[in-house]
Amino acid sequence: MDENIGSKPKIIIFDTTLRDGEQSPGVSLNMEEKLQIGRQLERMGVDVLEAGFPVASPGDFQGVKRLADELRGLQVAALARASQKDIDTAWEAIRHGENPRIHTFLATSDIHLKYKLRKSRDQVLEMASAAVKHAAGYTSNVEFSAEDASRSDLDFLCRVFEAVIEAGATTLNFPDTVGYAIPWDFGSMIRYVVEHTENIHRAVLSVHCHNDLGLATANVLAAIQNGARQVECTINGIGERAGNTAMEEVVMAIRTRNDCLPYRTDIVTTEITPASRLVATLTGMQVQPNKAIVGANAFAHESGIHQDGVLKERTTYEIMDPRDVGLSQGSLVLGKHSGRHALKARLEELGYNLSDEEIDSVFVRFKELADRKKEIFTEDLKVLVAGEILKIPERYTLRYLHVAGGSGIRPTATVAIEEGGQEKITCSLGAGPVDAAFKAVGKLVQTESKLLRYNVNAITGGTDALGKVTVRLREDDLEVTGQGADPDIITASVKAYLNALNRLEYMKQ
């Protein structure tokens, strides 16, 4: 990498995994899970963390407040519509943070003005100015987003930007809200705004792109080349519809092609893979194998020609060093003879700073797994931590599972769960062992939820690998994702189903 990169213009990384990312269908994070992701983003060196939309619910307010209260070394931002109530609530949630940011937004495209807001351009201009002025009464760190900017009249947009800068905005965000932009056109829009907003030098220009056409990262890079200095993005590119700009793609594009992207970020790139896996685990949104930077196949080579080249010289077929994104090549981590101290040291290497009580809890599960598996891998440890430390309160707990099936036998499952200190047991027939087990669980908990998705993955190689199961349930207007892991895939499936049912109960409360 260029030795003079420190003197190059900095691109501010604004992470919205916990706000826009959590809006992904089926994703719902509890407070502890948000804090785990927040701490990982803090370790990564993220500049701004958008923690949520405080006015949306009491739970969202408390989540934003806790992140602002506990995280340091970064700015915590709260989203607010252009209304006094939203802004007041946002400030109340983040006021004890380190240089907290109020992020207020209002649509500026004619299609939004006509059909959503039912306001004139002059009314929107006045609303935007008033909202920013009100926010600036709390803090000098105010961001204004012109929703649907890429479909807005640019001259009107420049008028709005000039007005909100005068009202106190220090960051202006140009969102491609619906993923409509094409890179060269988006770049020219950014350049037009820079050249036609008279007081633009008093604010940082930001971009927030969606991936509906698969062009989010390309659009962001075009924007940077034309004057944008803040990028709003998410880990793994999660978010509404097709998602947001993937942070890892932008950061590694700048690092890898610094010859034609002469900028810098403060992201600790070796934390990218741990962050990706943590977010995938907690959201239940698994990363596609061919995903850039963090996919399972991103640094895999099957072609004989490629393998031969990489063995002779890595750079023949790899433009990035896997170690730069935190991807280790080690296989065996620990075994059944390993002690508590070794486990704690390895977890610390992986970025987990757990209390003694949490270590004890993970260690018990680690020993149980080590008795069943010859080798314990890094991925196994991450699943153990997610299962023991990041779990939500359990209303339903699996106590017993027996499944009978095979060729010529009608699959039957007997399941016992504990609820409120009482054990319940039943059996059920099914089309297969998983179906039979799920039907038995359904009988016991009397759930009205509908199974939307059932996915199975092997965590590591080998027939004794942990099987990881992800399920998605819907009940009324609630959608949740549950996960379970076990060397026995039927047990993993029931654990995932119960985890989702517990999440449903948690959300109802």
Summarize pLDDT for 443-498 with one digit per residue, the tens.
999 998 999 989 888 766 667 777 889 898 889 878 888 888 888 999 999 999 99
State pLDDT tens for residues 193-245. Answer: 999 999 999 999 999 999 999 999 999 999 999 999 999 999 999 999 999 99
The residue ranking higher by pLDDT, 140 or 421, is: 140
Residue 330 — very low, low, confident or very high, per pLDDT cuts 50/70/90?
Answer: very low
Q: Which residues contact 123 (CB under 8 A, 6 or more apart)?
A: none
Q: Return the pLDDT at 374.
A: 64
Residue 333 has pLDDT above 50, yes or no: no
- Residue among 498, 281, 490, 298 nearest 379 (CA): 281
Query: Both tokens of residue 267?
Result: 């992201």
| Comparison of pLDDT for 358 and 208, the residue scoring more | 208
The stretch 181-203 carries a mean pLDDT of 98
Under DSSP, is residue 231 helix (H, G, I), strand (E, B) or coil? strand
Tokens, residue 401: 């599972």
| Higher-confidence position of 274 and 97 | 97
Residue 26: what pLDDT?
75
The pLDDT, as a whole number, for residue 351 is 67
The predicted pLDDT at position 501 comes to 92
Q: What is the pLDDT of residue 344?
A: 82
Q: Which domains does the chain have, with CATH numbers?
A: 9-283 (3.20.20.70), 340-388 (no CATH), 396-508 (3.30.160.270)
Quick check: 331 pLDDT over 60? no
Q: What are the angstrom distances between the C-alpha of 16 and each of 20, 24, 190, 233, 336?
A: 6, 12, 21, 6, 40
Asked if the model's pLDDT at residue 116 lies above 70, the reply is: yes
> What pLDDT does residue 284 have?
82
Whether the pLDDT of residue 339 is over 50: the answer is: yes
What pLDDT score does 212 carry? 97
Q: Are strands 396-406 and 409-419 parallel, antiparallel or unpaired?
A: antiparallel
Tell me if the pTM is above 0.85: no
Find out whether 264 and 45 touch, Cβ atoms under 8 Å.
no
pLDDT value of position 281: 82
Question: 197-201: long-range contacts at Cβ-Cβ below 8 A with a sequence spacing of 24 or more?
Answer: 197/158, 197/161, 197/162, 197/165, 197/172, 198/162, 199/162, 199/165, 199/166, 200/161, 200/165, 200/172
Measured distance CA(146)–CA(160) in Å, rounded: 8
